Amino acid sequence: ELDYVQAVRRYRDAISAAPDRAEPHLHLAIAFAGLKQFDSAVKELKVGLALDPAWATSGVTLDGLLGSDNLIGKMQLKQRVAEWALADVRDPDRLFLLGALLYLDADSHRGRTILETAARLGGLHDYLAVFLRAGSPAANIGIPPVVSEPGLAEAEVDANPALPELPPLPALPPSPA
């Protein structure tokens, strides 16, 4: 019903009751994004994906989270995140949140492009890799399929020689003053 304040309360309660479950963190991320608390949304999305990397490919969609008849709510949410991401297009966390939302809204092509850019800017972290390795498009940039290893630290993922470096980004225009 897009009552993000109430949703935040309920998902925090769910996290208290089951801190090892990914879903409340991931759903809390969407609620925080709806409240324009984007940094908190990114944090919760990363925590949720660390708890369950397969969630990114589990079939959960924005329609499922917000309701398939809630077109305006979905558009508003994506617009808010897009505006935040555009305020600093060099921030990989901003791109991560936008790319993840697009991916969850069945726009995996545009979401993937944004997530690839986030990986090029900030490194191929495990929370990005779960989206980028999903499905057949991963083969197009040479990323191996996901191998789930519980407890694998980000530093180990980043240092893993099996994960290739992504091609460099084209030159970006200078930052606005």
Give me 18's structure tokens. 């089951």
Mean per-residue pLDDT, 28-33: 94
d(CA 40, CA 169): 27
92 vs 141, which has greater pLDDT? 92
Q: Cβ atoms within 10 A of the Cβ of 9, count?
A: 12
| Full-model pTM | 0.74
Q: Tell me the residue type at 110.
A: R
What pLDDT shows up at residue 161?
38
Give me 172's structure tokens. 């970006």
Nearest Cα neighbor of 148 from 52, 74, 56 is 52
What pLDDT shows up at residue 140?
35
pLDDT tens per residue, range 118-174 = 999 999 999 999 888 875 333 333 333 333 334 433 433 344 434 445 555 555 556
CB 88 within 8 A of CB 94: yes
pLDDT band at residue 57 using 50, 70 and 90 as cut-offs = confident
Q: In three state form, how does the secondary structure of the chain look?
A: CCCHHHHHHHHHHHHHHCCCCHHHHHHHHHHHHHCCCHHHHHHHHHHHHHHCHHHHHCCCCHHHHHCCCCHHHHHHHHHHHHHHHHCCCCCHHHHHHHHHHHHHCCCHHHHHHHHHHHHHHHCCCHHHHHHHCCCHHHHHHCCCCCCCCCCCCHHHHHHCCCCCCCCCCCCCCCCCC
